[in-house]
């Protein structure tokens, strides 16, 4: 989930730690919100890094695994059976 979508979801819950009467719960909510935000930032960073590495791997795969297959060369100079024997036994 993207950071903006996460913020909108949390805002839609309408939980304001400042309005919570019990200070322990208010502190717990602040800490949990901070943890969620930090983890989401890290997830987004890791997603971008992961995609960058996948792109690099794909680039390397294409360069290294591309087979060098030599196609059959079609020569217009196809000799007949007689010409081949003539060359063998001059």
pLDDT of residue 65: 45
Higher-confidence position of 27 and 82: 27
Q: Is residue 40 part of a domain?
A: yes
How many domains does the structure of the chain reveal? 1
Enter the tokens of residue 60: 């390397």
DSSP letter string, 3-31 = HHHHHHHHHHTT--GGG-SSHHHHHHHHH
For the stretch 21-65, pLDDT in tens is: 888 988 998 899 899 889 989 999 999 899 888 888 888 887 554
The pLDDT, as a whole number, for residue 67 is 47
Closest CA to 6 of 49, 35, 31, 26: 35
Residue 79 inside a domain? The answer is no
Both tokens assigned to 14: 């309408």
Q: Quick check: is 80 in a domain?
A: no
pLDDT of residue 38: 92
**Each residue of 4-17: pLDDT tens digit?**
787 788 778 887 88
Please return the burial class of 33, using the count of CB atoms within 10 Å of its CB with bins 0-12, 13-18 and 19+.
Answer: middle
- Domain annotation covers residue 73: no
| In-domain check, residue 82 | no
Is residue 62 situated within a structural domain? yes
* Angstrom distance (rounded) from CA 64 to CA 61: 5
**Which pLDDT score is estimated for 55?**
83
Q: Is residue 55 part of a domain?
A: yes
């Amino acid at each position: 989930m993207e950071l903006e979508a996460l913020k909108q979801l949390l805002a839609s819950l309408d939980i304001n730690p400042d309005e919570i009467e019990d200070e322990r719960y208010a502190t717990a909510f602040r800490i949990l919100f901070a943890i969620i935000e930090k983890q989401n930032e890290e997830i987004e960073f890791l997603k971008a890094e992961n995609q960058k590495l996948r792109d690099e791997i794909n680039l390397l795969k294409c360069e290294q695994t591309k087979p060098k297959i030599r196609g059959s060369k079609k020569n217009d100079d196809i000799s007949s059976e007689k010409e081949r024997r003539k060359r063998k036994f001059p």
